[in-house]
Amino acid sequence: MKISIAIDGPAAAGKSTVAKRIANILGYTYIDTGAMYRAFTWYCMEKGVNCEDEKACCALIPEVTIKLRPSGIVLCNDVDITRAIREPRINANVSYIASYKDIRLFLVEQQRNMASKHSVIMDGRDIGTYVLPNADVKIFQIASVETRAQRRYDENMEKGIPCTQEEIQADVRKRDYIDSHRDFAPLRCAEDAITLDTSDMSIEEVVNAIIDIINKKLEEKGKNA
Ligand code: DC
């Protein structure tokens, strides 16, 4: 029996960190849908296409193949872009790419296909509302802008990605605005999602809280984690 867990929420709320750990613990496949929008953004920039030009970006759809490896490696047309997609230039442009309906439909089809083959824990913005509306468990993970910016800053420092706190906070605010105001599948909490404010929680506390929620929900449904 395939299980699907949706984790949505604003930028840098720590979704991918906890989703990865939960996937390891429960033996599910982790799918980072944000990485797919980032990969598409990387390709547009590589081709010298302006990310604010919807028509030109969507015209690249037939050329793009994105692969997410279980190890976390992200490939675009077989180029390893795992590190490149976390650069500030990608952060600054990815919300434009993610607002284009044709690109979303192209990537959502692949996301649904992965969820039909494996038990998944998928993180993003529209997983509970649009990609997997029948997900077994839906979590909406939030945290204050200050906490999120600090977490992303710490993460970047650890990975050696140069940035300033001001830059990160401005980027997080801008992306939240664009992601929640786009016409098609905007960032929104699903009606049947459980909201978890993680501002004052450690990663372990968040992981444990979500695993508890998953176990309870699956028990109610007569499924096993
Ligand atoms: O989660 P992230 O920061 O890696 O996501 C990068 C961008 O992609 C983010 O600004 C919003 C967009 N995104 C989206 O629109 N829908 C998703 N399911 C995942 C990400």
Total tally of structural domains belonging to the chain: 1
Q: Which ligand 1 atom is nearest residue 12's CA? A: 3
On whether residue 66 sits in a domain, the answer given is yes
CA 142, CA 148: separation in Å to the nearest integer? 9
CA 97 – ligand 1 centroid, Å: 9
pLDDT of residue 146: 93
| Residues 94 and 175: beta-carbon distance below 8 Å | yes
Give, using CA atoms, the residue closest to atom 13 of ligand 1: 34
Tokens of 111: 């996301």
CA 45 – ligand 1 centroid, Å: 17
Give the sign of the dihedral formed by CA 138, CA 200, CA 149, CA 164. Answer: negative
CA 11 – ligand 1 centroid, Å: 7
CA 159, CA 167: separation in Å to the nearest integer? 17
Give, using CA atoms, the residue closest to atom 15 of ligand 1: 98
Give pLDDT tens digits along the chain (225 positions): 899 999 999 999 999 999 999 999 999 999 999 999 999 999 999 999 999 999 999 999 999 999 999 999 999 999 999 999 988 899 999 999 999 999 999 999 999 999 999 999 999 999 999 999 999 999 999 999 999 999 989 988 988 888 899 999 999 999 999 999 999 999 999 999 999 999 999 999 999 999 999 999 999 988 876
**In 59-167, beta strands by DSSP E:** 66-68, 74-76, 79-80, 120-124, 137-142
CA 207, CA 19: separation in Å to the nearest integer? 8
Tokens of 107: 């990537």
On whether residue 205 sits in a domain, the answer given is yes
Ligand 1: residue of 7, 125, 182 to mutate (most ligand atoms within 8 A of CB) is 125
For residue 72, give the CATH number of its domain. 3.40.50.300
Q: Which residues lie with the beta carbon below 6 Å from any ligand 1 atom?
A: 11, 33-34, 37-38, 94-95, 98, 124-127, 175, 179
Total-model pTM? 0.95
On whether residue 181 sits in a domain, the answer given is yes
Contacts of 201 (CB under 8 A, 6+ apart): 209
On whether residue 224 sits in a domain, the answer given is no
Give, using CA atoms, the residue closest to atom 9 of ligand 1: 95
**In 95-220, beta strands by DSSP E:** 120-124, 137-142, 194-197
CA 33 – ligand 1 centroid, Å: 7
CA 220 – ligand 1 centroid, Å: 31
On whether residue 29 sits in a domain, the answer given is yes
Give, using CA atoms, the residue closest to atom 3 of ligand 1: 11
* Host domain of residue 38: 4-209
On whether residue 221 sits in a domain, the answer given is no
pLDDT of residue 160: 86
pLDDT of residue 51: 98
pLDDT of residue 144: 95
pLDDT of residue 1: 80
Q: How far is CA 60 from the centre of its chain?
A: 22
On whether residue 219 sits in a domain, the answer given is no
Q: Which of 208, 224, 220 is nearest to 22 (CA)?
A: 208
* φ and ψ at residue 31, rounded to 5 degrees: -125, 115
